[in-house]
Amino acid sequence: MMQDLARCFEAGIRQHPADWHMLQRVFVADLDPERLARADARAAEAERAEAADGSPSANGSRPADGSRAGGSGGAGGSGGAGG
């Protein structure tokens, strides 16, 4: 069963080998508090702007790095996005 799961990831890793680290777990407790606060502030501002003009966000999804808005709210420590 685990081998089947590994095969599911194999094609994506093969196509984008530089991005394999994005499959790691992200624990909110490990995030830099200042960076997380900036991401939360950006998300709140985006939500206010969205509510003001009534348009939905670009893709409606939350990034895998634990932030609420795009950009630099990534995990600290092991190669997360800049910020």
Q: Where are the domains of the chain?
A: 2-53
Per-residue model confidence (pLDDT) at position 21: 78
This model's pTM is above 0.75: no
- Structure tokens of 60? 């409606």
- Indicate if the pLDDT at residue 11 is higher than 80: yes
Residue range 28-69, pLDDT digits in tens:
777 788 988 998 999 999 999 989 887 655 545 455 555 544
- The rounded distance, in Å, linking the Cα atoms of 8 and 57 is 29
Helix or strand holding residue 56 (H, E): none
Could you tell me if 74 and 81 are in contact, meaning their C-beta atoms sit under 8 angstroms apart?
Answer: yes
Most confident among 10-14, 25-29, 52-56 (mean pLDDT)? 10-14
Q: What is the mean pLDDT of residues 10-26?
A: 82
